[in-house]
């Protein structure tokens, strides 16, 4: 059994890891997504350890409620990015499926595979 | 409040970035079959995210990245130039070859054989009127056949000259489009993928027409040099080529009446024909000015068909005019069987005819030594392998004409073989280029699936983190 860690330090670590996850976020890069998942995993470990300490000694968290709420906001921020990215993958309702960008010679989009109706049906619950 | 506004701003900018990304993906898919299109990728990065400072995070678009590979594009252009050359050679030499009968039983070869047979029959019956008439009839058929072949080949020369002219027009049209690209490019700071696709397509079409070199300038414009260095497009300047048919004046032509050869002139009027060695234009010029000229002649050479016609006529006439119509004392000298225009070396085949004044009894079967069929025998021997008369370059008349037909066939066979091989080379370099810069629909779909799996993993971990945060928050003692 290792020495009981400082829950406040654990919460700081978790918060820093969440910030790192947000910083490496790149919706179009699978490798960046993997790095983001790893950072979130590590953050969850820190929070789990903080929870274990707090269960034994709840007073150790006295006065740190606002910091925990900031962590919650941080998580909400990443969720927001995830929602938007998921909507991108689904070809969300904000897209008409007709890009104004770089269409060569005014060619019509004859491929409907990326249109909203044909996009993956899986809805990611973030 | 400021945090809420920051979050809303972050969402709006992220939405914009993702909309751009979707547009790029859709554009890639839409243009998967667009000639010259190189797939694009939107680089997406993250914006600063810090609750304390109020930075709400989000996505940033870090510009488009094109997968275009200049080296791969240049390789395709070079191979297309060679393919264009072989394709034009194959088609035009095919036309030339079609005028010759490969079996040798019809056309000029067949008519020559018939005439030699008639000479042989005449040598057996030198006084026979029917045999004499047969000689004249066969000679007429041969002369008509040579004339017909000459007319067909000269007609092909005119057609090739016209094709050279129309190909130059196509080159100029493409050059004007590239000039237009340059003009538009000078107005923009960033390259436009659609315009780039058009440019690449135009360069590939141009490569099929003529050998060229392209240089990308620092301002993004393309310089196109054709035929070993003649500028076609430089920046916003377009220098048109022109086609012209004439008998070269330098060196002074030996045959001023020769059919005019095809020439290509640059914008300054300089003759760049010799430097056009690739593309369809190179193939057409080669077929017209080298292959066809070697047969029908040009300013400097009479052409093998004219050499054949002239040698045939001179040899037959020489033998006949050296003898007499009979062995009787005081018999008249023989008359010439053939006539042709000898004012120019390139006119012999086209003007070859039977002497209009000759009658069967003017044919001299007897030689100068008094042999009653000496001349007829000598004429019948023109087709022998050991013939001493009518020999050109070591070949008798039959062999020489067969050589002309064989050379035409060989040119076509070589061109067809080259074209077939080059088509494979072009397919390979095009496939390589497409792997680099083309749009892979499978690849686009795989990217989307991979991202989807990544998002699911993020979602699951976030759910765990959320639960932990809620749990910890519940443990925080309420302060009085």
| pLDDT (tens digit per residue) in B98-118 | 999 877 788 999 999 999 999
Q: Which of A80-94, A112-126, B337-351, B446-460 has the lowest mean pLDDT?
A: A112-126
User: In the prediction, which pLDDT does B384 show?
Assistant: 94
- Which is nearest to A104 in space by CA: B71, B442, B217, B40? B40
User: In the prediction, which pLDDT does B459 show?
Assistant: 83
pLDDT tens per residue across span B122-132? 999 999 999 99
Determine contact: A8 vs chain B, CB below 8 A. no
Cα separation of B58 and B52, whole Å? 16
In this complex, do A71 and B469 lie within 8 Å of one another by their Cβ atoms?
yes
DSSP state, residue B261: E
User: In the prediction, which pLDDT does B51 show?
Assistant: 54
Q: What are phi and psi of B223, to 5 degrees?
A: -100, 130
User: In the prediction, which pLDDT does A90 show?
Assistant: 56
Cα separation of B404 and B393, whole Å? 12
Residues B382, B385, B390, B395, CA torsion sign: positive
Confidence band of B63 (pLDDT split at 50, 70, 90): confident
Average pLDDT along chain A: 67
User: In the prediction, which pLDDT does B24 show?
Assistant: 75
The tokens for B217 are 């300038």
User: In the prediction, which pLDDT does B315 show?
Assistant: 97
Please tell me the pTM assigned to this model: 0.71
Angle between helices B129-187 and B107-124 (to 10 degrees): 170
Cα separation of B289 and B263, whole Å? 9
Residue B241 has pLDDT above 70, yes or no: yes
Cα separation of B117 and B380, whole Å? 7
Q: Closest-CA residue in chain A for B31?
A: A104
Cα separation of B208 and B425, whole Å? 14
Confidence band of A107 (pLDDT split at 50, 70, 90): very low
From chain B, the residues in CB contact with A118 under 8 A are: none
Report CA B470 to chain centroid distance, whole Å.
75
Residue B178, burial from CB neighbour count under 10 angstroms (0-12, 13-18, 19+): buried
| Residues paired with residue B366 on neighbouring β-strands, in sequence order | B324
Q: Tell me whether strands B242-246 and B261-265 are parallel, antiparallel or unpaired.
A: antiparallel
Strand order in the sheet with B222-226: B212-216, B222-226, B230-234, B237-238
Confidence band of B18 (pLDDT split at 50, 70, 90): low
* Surface of A (11-70) touching B: CB under 8 A: 11, 18-19, 22-30, 33-34, 36-37, 40-41, 43-44, 47-48, 50-51, 54-55, 58-59, 61-65, 68-70
pLDDT cut 70: percent of chain B above it: 88
User: In the prediction, which pLDDT does A109 show?
Assistant: 36
Q: What are phi and psi of B227, to 5 degrees?
A: 55, 45
The tokens for B410 are 């060989």
For residues B81-100, give the mean pLDDT.
96
Cα separation of B479 and A63, whole Å? 7
Q: What are phi and psi of B110, to 5 degrees?
A: -65, -40
The tokens for B249 are 């004046």
Residue B142 has pLDDT above 90, yes or no: yes
């Amino acid at each position: 059994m290792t020495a009981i860690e400082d829950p406040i330090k654990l919460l700081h670590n978790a918060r820093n890891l969440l910030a790192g996850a947000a910083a490496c976020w790149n919706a179009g890069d699978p490798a960046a997504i993997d790095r983001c998942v790893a950072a979130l995993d590590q953050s969850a470990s820190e929070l789990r350890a903080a929870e274990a300490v707090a269960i034994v000694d709840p007073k150790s968290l006295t006065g740190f409620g606002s910091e925990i709420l900031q962590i919650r906001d941080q998580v909400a921020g990443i969720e927001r990015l995830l929602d938007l990215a998921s909507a991108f993958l689904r070809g969300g309702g904000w897209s008409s499926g007709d890009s104004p960008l770089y269409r060569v010679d005014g060619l019509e989009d004859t491929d409907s595979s990326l249109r909203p109706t044909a996009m993956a049906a899986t809805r990611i619950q973030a | 409040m400021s945090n809420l506004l920051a979050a809303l701003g972050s969402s709006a900018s992220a939405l914009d970035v993702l909309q751009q990304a979707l547009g790029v993906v859709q554009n890639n898919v839409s243009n998967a079959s667009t000639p010259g299109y190189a797939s694009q990728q939107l680089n997406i990065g993250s914006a600063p995210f810090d609750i304390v400072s109020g930075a709400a995070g989000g996505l940033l678009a870090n510009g488009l990245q094109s997968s275009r590979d200049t080296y791969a594009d240049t390789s395709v252009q070079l191979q297309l130039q060679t393919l264009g050359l072989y394709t034009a050679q194959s088609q035009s030499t095919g036309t030339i070859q079609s005028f010759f009968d490969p079996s040798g039983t019809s056309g000029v070869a067949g008519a020559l054989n018939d005439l030699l047979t008639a000479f042989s029959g005449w040598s057996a019956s030198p006084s026979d009127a029917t045999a004499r008439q047969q000689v004249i009839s066969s000679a007429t058929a041969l002369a008509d056949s040579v004339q017909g072949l000459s007319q067909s080949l000269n007609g092909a020369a005119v057609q090739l000259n016209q094709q050279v002219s129309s190909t130059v027009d196509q080159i100029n049209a493409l050059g004007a489009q590239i000039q237009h690209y340059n003009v538009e490019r000078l107005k923009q700071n960033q390259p436009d993928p659609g315009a780039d696709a058009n440019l690449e397509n135009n360069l590939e079409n141009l490569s099929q027409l003529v050998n060229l070199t392209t240089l990308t300038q620092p301002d993004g414009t393309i310089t196109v040099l054709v035929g070993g260095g003649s500028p076609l497009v430089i920046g916003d300047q377009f220098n048109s080529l022109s086609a012209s048919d004439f008998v070269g004046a330098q060196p002074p032509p030996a045959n001023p009446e020769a059919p005019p050869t095809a020439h290509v002139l640059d914008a300054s009027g300089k003759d760049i024909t010799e430097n056009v060695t690739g593309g369809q234009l190179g193939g057409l010029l080669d077929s017209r000015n080298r292959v066809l000229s070697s047969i029908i002649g040009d300013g400097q050479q009479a052409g093998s068909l004219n050499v054949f016609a002239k040698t045939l006529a001179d040899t037959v006439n020489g033998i006949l005019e050296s003898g007499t119509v009979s062995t009787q004392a005081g018999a008249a000298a023989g008359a010439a069987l053939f006539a042709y225009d000898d004012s120019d070396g390139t006119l012999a085949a086209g003007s070859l005819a039977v002497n209009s004044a000759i009658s069967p009894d003017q044919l001299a079967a007897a030689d100068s030594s008094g042999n009653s069929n000496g001349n007829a025998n000598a004429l019948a021997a023109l087709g022998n392998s050991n013939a001493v008369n009518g020999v050109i370059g070591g070949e008798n008349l039959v062999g020489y004409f067969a050589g002309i037909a064989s050379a035409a066939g060989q040119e076509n066979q070589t061109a067809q073989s080259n074209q077939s091989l080059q088509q494979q080379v072009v397919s390979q370099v095009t496939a390589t280029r497409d792997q680099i810069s083309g749009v892979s629909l499978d690849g686009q779909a795989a990217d989307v699936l991979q991202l989807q799996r990544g998002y699911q993993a993020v979602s699951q971990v976030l759910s765990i983190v959320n639960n932990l945060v809620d749990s910890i928050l519940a443990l925080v003692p309420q302060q009085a």
